[in-house]
Amino acid sequence: MSAPALPARPQAGTPPSGLARWLPILGWAPRYDRPAFGADLLAAVIVTLMLIPQSLAYAQLAGLPPQVGLYASIAPLVVYAIFGGSHALSVGPVAVVSLMTAAAIGSLGLADEAARLQAALTLAFVSGVMLTVMGVLRLGFLTSFLSHPVVSGFITASSLLIALSQLKHLLGIRAQGDTLPELLSGLVANVHDTNVPTLLLGAGVVAFLYWVRKRLKPLLLRAGLSARAADTCAKAGPVVAVLGTTALMWAFRLDELGVRKVGDIPAGLPPLTLPSLDPGLLSQLLLPALLISIIGFVESVSVAKTFAAKRRRRIEPDQELVGLGASNLAAAFTGGYPVTGGFSRSVVNFDAGAATPAAGAFTAVGIAVASITLTPMLHFLPQATLAATIVVAILTLVDIDTLRTTWRYSRADFLAVATTLLTTLLAGVEAGVSAGVALTLLTLLWHASRPHMAVVGRVPGTEHYRNIERHRVETHPSLIGLRVDEGLNFMNARQVEDRILALVTAQPAVRNVVLLCSAVNDIDASALETLESIVHRLGDMGVRLHLSEVKGPVMDRLRRSDLPGALGGQVFLSHHEAVTALTAGESAPPSP
Amino acid sequence: MSAPALPARPQAGTPPSGLARWLPILGWAPRYDRPAFGADLLAAVIVTLMLIPQSLAYAQLAGLPPQVGLYASIAPLVVYAIFGGSHALSVGPVAVVSLMTAAAIGSLGLADEAARLQAALTLAFVSGVMLTVMGVLRLGFLTSFLSHPVVSGFITASSLLIALSQLKHLLGIRAQGDTLPELLSGLVANVHDTNVPTLLLGAGVVAFLYWVRKRLKPLLLRAGLSARAADTCAKAGPVVAVLGTTALMWAFRLDELGVRKVGDIPAGLPPLTLPSLDPGLLSQLLLPALLISIIGFVESVSVAKTFAAKRRRRIEPDQELVGLGASNLAAAFTGGYPVTGGFSRSVVNFDAGAATPAAGAFTAVGIAVASITLTPMLHFLPQATLAATIVVAILTLVDIDTLRTTWRYSRADFLAVATTLLTTLLAGVEAGVSAGVALTLLTLLWHASRPHMAVVGRVPGTEHYRNIERHRVETHPSLIGLRVDEGLNFMNARQVEDRILALVTAQPAVRNVVLLCSAVNDIDASALETLESIVHRLGDMGVRLHLSEVKGPVMDRLRRSDLPGALGGQVFLSHHEAVTALTAGESAPPSP
């Protein structure tokens, strides 16, 4: 299998406009040709083989029947091919979102499987609506408040929870739980029920998958295969494990020894389904759907950017919101559950040479064929095999090293990683993401309320004014020059006020305060009002406020307000001019 | 009454330390002397006279029995004198917080008065805990996210709601409601029940109070009184109205004509009470308590700053949180309801010459004496009189003009005023504050995710690099210089990445990108990771990333990370050096 030639960079640099802005398919479909078709088809075959066990496994992780995983890998892929902007992203069930789905549905306390299915597709519906609306309103920037430390801590903790949640399948016992303490106590309480054949089978699959992952590729390379072919073979491990253990189970009737099988999977295409519009259910799903949307989007867009860069393309985050939103709506109406772009499957898709999003649509056809024809054969598939594929795949996401590197780099960021990680482990995924987001917002507010400010003095013999804490400069006892290095807004203006009042109360001789505005790009209405209150309060102290080096656009705007009239002081073109005019006749001692 | 001499500025400029940091009383009490005592006592007498009708009226507004207003004006004042940092602030029941209390308690649907009282003091308790914790953790900065437009819109809308809610007392009818539509429909439905004697009495008091407010002072000035004395007499209007109408009611038994009286007020000191610890009630009160805390604090601290500036002092916002928190806890344990610093009473306190917070403690003694001795006389006080004092006081807070000035100054700020105002009027106080805060946070996130960036080119013949959109500069097709004007963090780093990827995909000849970091004060762990991903993605495109003019502290920190090793490109001391080294041998055409 040779690497297909990359298509020439189409429309690089020309951002899509008009309808193609919202329907990226209009950008590539008109130029779709035979070589691209061949490349996409090949990629689709390989991804399909990988997706079948993955879809079944992730549905099991989400606590849903296996066919739901297949259904979630059909319509959403077709829809993403139409609305999605990435040429390599493969959309479908992924591990972390499946875990979050399990937690969201578990917290509803539904005993009935039909009700759980309905809740799962309603969750996809709510998430799809949220993502689409955010995309259309261009609110993609909102997801920035999920910082890297939070995402990193969350992914590591979720991966550990996922691996732990699969242990019961590997031991053949029953246990429940969404958090580390619950999972551990469930395992400890039931470990005496361990089914030895299940344990042997599960351990065997784990060992096999590790061997495939770590050792097979070097062997194949030495046997003369190309690096790409060796890689693809190594990725086929789970398929081999599924086929092999299904055959074992069938041949030796391991299920009669207590090894649990997947059982009957209804054959056929996905059903048409409708999400529930029960207000009670919808309101309970709002928060989980929001968290799933954000986590799913942040992960997906990062994967998409990685592959886009490899072909010198770019990803429009707001368009990705629409693409993922539409995919989730498709999942909701075809019996699926929340989906997003997955990393491992996208790697396979890209490496296999997918040239356009059509590869995803072809993969959907492959999965559809499988769900019609292969499902009877999956009856004897052991649950332990699926659990083993999840465990081996997920443990690569555990990144404890981040704790060490962030500790070294920044204690504040370390705190964010550690808080998110521990909260997720101890209190579950929703609490973990919420704590991380809350911490991030708090940090943001803290920073936003702390503008850079410096009291400035004159560099002797020049007209330059510099921070008195860093330079040897001259100051006057009757004048304070304060440089503010940021636009003034509702978050930081009060801090400027507090700083000025503190400076003036500490220096009784002060008669003039000059605000050096060279770096002030904007003054909002709150800051304007704060400036007016500074003027009044300084006035009460017998001190006047002046401005210097106000930028043109800022000055234009100030002229539309009452400030120039209320100022009392003057607006100087240069700070030096201000200091000279206001301290005429005084001597200028150097600052201590 | 002559103006008492202001005490010499004590400890101006020396911020309190040690225990005095948390107990401002330790700052002034040791130097407390006879002149200060005299000044405080005089102020206390005047404020007490004003506070008696105000406390009764605001308790009525909050939907609580009148004595609760008196109780909330005793212990909280004493406690604020110990923990509060303002020398002029007068703490107690205020209009807006009383309205918010009415809405919070109303939404609980409690029919029983004892349960309502218990809920009111529990609300004060929760609010007190929140304020104190925020103060101790120095989270005062969090209140900055309540921007001026939001506060302004909220106060105007609440004042209109308060005035409307009092109309029923002026008409002598029964009506319910927390929002404009509810209040209006309640009034319209019951207006036929109007009690004419009540209407005449209420209208008379309103007219009298307006006359006192607008006309009495000029008359007194012409009669030869000093400005301060005339002012104080004018402020005594409500006391005269209370005494006059109570006497009228008693003499002519107006209550037999249907004019409602306040009725029996239990005489005596405030009871010792305990807040409820019922988790259901506490969780229902969490949001209202948070909103009451924030609104109360923002208003109070602004009043405190105004008066502090008049004496060249400053207010420590975190200490104010502790002071108000302690006051609310005191209210909770003495049968009160949420309190904060009020503007009008503080004006009276300051104008009457209060020299220290002891004036507040003396006022508390005054109110305590009144609640023991005067309450029997208030039996015949008409409810319409209290309503009239509220209406006249509150309408001065309505500030429709802000809509006009913000419209002229900034459409975004106008939107914030209008949204908060309309949401408060139409959906109530909690929805109004919440909508305003949500809008403000959204704005903040939007701004935080939009860093200032400029593609730079060389000013011909110099070593200066300027924005290519504003200056005629030279650029190279193989190199992009991007200046980022802000510290890089989790909110804006992705935007930098998107900008760089967009620039590079649009300019196929690019081989080097230089990030000009002269204004980058900090790079957090998220931004660091984004820089690494930029390096990788550019690498995939065959482009290298370089940094120039990195500040010392930022470079020190970067050296503790993996970035320098991963960079691929170089770190240049000056941007000119970077451009010269990276474009050696190329010609430099001017930018189009």
- Nearest residue, CB atoms, B149 vs list A314, A317, A526: A526
Nearest-neighbour CA in chain B from A540: distance (Å): 5
Q: A453-582, which class in CATH? A: alpha beta
**pLDDT value for A199:** 94
CA dihedral B291, B297, B299, B302 (to 10 degrees): -150
How many other CB atoms are found less than 10 A from the CB of residue B3? 12
- Nearest residue, CB atoms, B12 vs list A147, A412, A508: A508
Residues in B closer than 8 angstroms to A308, CB to CB, are: 501, 537
**pLDDT value for A11:** 40
Token pair recorded at residue A142: 């909102």
- Nearest residue, CB atoms, B444 vs list A413, A448, A495: A448
**Measured between alpha carbons, how far is B263 from B582 in angstroms, rounded to an integer?**
88
Q: Do A447 and B489 touch (CB under 8 A)?
A: yes
**Measured between alpha carbons, how far is B503 from A520 in angstroms, rounded to an integer?**
27
The residue in chain A having the minimum alpha-carbon distance to the alpha carbon of residue B531 is A148
**pLDDT value for B587:** 59
- Under 8 Å between Cβ of B572 and B479: no
Residues in B closer than 8 angstroms to A540, CB to CB, are: 309-310, 312
**Measured between alpha carbons, how far is B528 from B493 in angstroms, rounded to an integer?**
8
Which of B142, B155, B490 is most worth mutating to test chain A (most A CB atoms within 10 A of its CB)? B490
**Measured between alpha carbons, how far is A1 from A348 in angstroms, rounded to an integer?**
14
Please, which pLDDT band fits residue B4 given cuts at 50, 70 and 90?
very low
Helices of type H across B277-339: 279-310, 317-333
**pLDDT value for B395:** 83
- pLDDT per residue rounded down to tens, chain A (592 residues): 344 444 434 344 455 566 777 788 888 888 888 888 988 998 898 889 888 888 998 998 999 999 999 999 999 999 999 999 888 899 999 999 999 999 999 889 888 889 999 999 999 999 999 999 999 998 888 777 788 888 889 989 999 999 999 999 999 898 888 899 999 999 999 989 999 999 999 999 999 998 988 888 888 888 888 887 787 777 778 888 989 999 999 998 888 888 888 888 888 889 999 999 998 899 999 999 999 999 999 889 888 888 887 777 778 888 999 999 999 999 999 999 999 998 888 888 888 888 888 999 999 999 999 899 888 888 899 999 989 988 988 888 888 888 888 888 888 889 999 999 999 999 988 899 889 888 888 888 888 888 888 899 998 988 888 889 888 899 999 999 999 988 888 888 888 998 998 899 899 899 999 999 987 888 988 889 889 889 988 998 899 999 998 888 888 888 888 888 888 888 998 899 999 999 886 655 544 4
Please, which pLDDT band fits residue B1 given cuts at 50, 70 and 90?
very low
Token pair recorded at residue B104: 């919070």
Q: What is the mean pLDDT of residues B491-500?
A: 88
Reported as half-sphere exposure (CB side, CA atoms, 13 A), residue B352 has a value of: 33
Q: Do B145 and A490 touch (CB under 8 A)?
A: yes
Q: Could you read off the pLDDT of B342-378 as tens digits, one per residue?
A: 888 888 888 888 888 899 999 999 999 989 988 888 8
- Nearest residue, CB atoms, A144 vs list B441, B449, B538: B449
**pLDDT value for B9:** 40
**Is residue B90 classed as helix, strand or coil in its secondary structure?**
strand
Residues in A closer than 8 angstroms to B410, CB to CB, are: 524-525, 557
**Measured between alpha carbons, how far is A424 from A430 in angstroms, rounded to an integer?**
7
Nearest-neighbour CA in chain B from A591: distance (Å): 18
Residues in A closer than 8 angstroms to B413, CB to CB, are: 524-526
- Under 8 Å between Cβ of B93 and B72: yes
Find the largest Cα–Cα distance for chain A.
104
Provide the 8-state DSSP code for A194.
Answer: -
CA distances, B353 to each of B35, B125, B129, B222 (Å)? 11, 32, 32, 23
The residue in chain B having the minimum alpha-carbon distance to the alpha carbon of residue A149 is B526
Please, which pLDDT band fits residue B82 given cuts at 50, 70 and 90?
very high
Q: Do A491 and B313 touch (CB under 8 A)?
A: no
Token pair recorded at residue A10: 């189409």
Q: Do A452 and B504 touch (CB under 8 A)?
A: no
Token pair recorded at residue A24: 């990226």
**pTM of the entire structure?**
0.76
Taking 60 as the threshold, does the pLDDT of residue B83 lie above it?
A: yes
∠ at Cα B79 (B74, B81), nearest 5°? 100
Q: Do B305 and A495 touch (CB under 8 A)?
A: no
> For residue A101, which of A83, A77, A82, A126 has the smallest C-alpha distance?
A126
**Measured between alpha carbons, how far is A248 from A269 in angstroms, rounded to an integer?**
28
Length of chain B: 592
Nearest-neighbour CA in chain B from A538: distance (Å): 7
> For residue B16, which of B90, B84, B113, B116 has the smallest C-alpha distance?
B84
Token pair recorded at residue A131: 């993502």
Q: Do B444 and A446 touch (CB under 8 A)?
A: no
B62 phi and psi angles, rounded to 5 deg: -75, -5
> For residue B484, which of B452, B443, B447 has the smallest C-alpha distance?
B452
A488 phi and psi angles, rounded to 5 deg: -95, 125
Token pair recorded at residue A517: 């505005």
Q: Do B560 and A312 touch (CB under 8 A)?
A: no
- Burial state string for B388-404 with b = 16 or more CB within 10 A and e = fewer than 16: bbbbbbbeebbeeebbe
**pLDDT value for A226:** 84
Q: Do A540 and B309 touch (CB under 8 A)?
A: yes
**pLDDT value for B268:** 86
Q: Do the bridges between strand A340-342 and strand A453-458 make them parallel or antiparallel, or are there none, so unpaired? A: unpaired
**pLDDT value for B590:** 47
Nearest-neighbour CA in chain A from B328: distance (Å): 25
How many other CB atoms are found less than 10 A from the CB of residue B329? 22
Residues in B closer than 8 angstroms to A508, CB to CB, are: 9, 12-13, 312
**Where do the structural domains in chain B lie, given as residue ranges?**
32-414, 453-582
The amino acid sitting at A170 is L
The dihedral built from the CA positions of residue A518, A522, A523 and A526, taken in this order, carries a sign that is negative
Q: How far apart are the first and last CA of chain B?
A: 76
The amino acid sitting at A156 is T
The amino acid sitting at A484 is V
Length of chain A: 592
- Nearest residue, CB atoms, A149 vs list B305, B444, B526: B526
Q: Do A491 and B405 touch (CB under 8 A)?
A: no
Residues in B closer than 8 angstroms to A562, CB to CB, are: 405
**Measured between alpha carbons, how far is A273 from A289 in angstroms, rounded to an integer?**
19
- Nearest residue, CB atoms, B521 vs list A452, A497, A501: A452
Chain A to chain B Cβ contacts (< 8 Å):
192
Provide the 8-state DSSP code for A64.
Answer: S
Which of A146, A298, A513, A529 is most worth mutating to test chain B (most B CB atoms within 10 A of its CB)? A529
**pLDDT value for B227:** 80
CB neighbours of B280 closer than 8 A, spacing ≥ 6?
A: none
Residues in B closer than 8 angstroms to A442, CB to CB, are: 142
- What secondary structure does DSSP assign to A503-532, as a single string? HHHH-TT--EEEEE-TT---B-HHHHHHHH
CA dihedral A217, A220, A221, A223 (to 10 degrees): 160
- Under 8 Å between Cβ of B483 and B499: no
- Nearest residue, CB atoms, A149 vs list B498, B504, B525: B525
**Measured between alpha carbons, how far is A478 from A579 in angstroms, rounded to an integer?**
10
**Measured between alpha carbons, how far is B439 from B422 in angstroms, rounded to an integer?**
13
- Nearest residue, CB atoms, A525 vs list B306, B410, B442: B410
**pLDDT value for B7:** 42
Q: Name the least confident of A115-119, B134-138, B262-266.
A: B262-266
Token pair 């001259």: residue: A474
**Which secondary-structure segment (H or E) carries A366?**
helix A358-373
The residue in chain A having the minimum alpha-carbon distance to the alpha carbon of residue B411 is A525
**Measured between alpha carbons, how far is A315 from A321 in angstroms, rounded to an integer?**
11
∠ at Cα A59 (A55, A63), nearest 5°? 170
Please, which pLDDT band fits residue B107 given cuts at 50, 70 and 90?
confident
- Nearest residue, CB atoms, B410 vs list A441, A506, A524: A524
Taking 60 as the threshold, does the pLDDT of residue B547 lie above it?
A: yes
Q: Do B490 and A410 touch (CB under 8 A)?
A: no
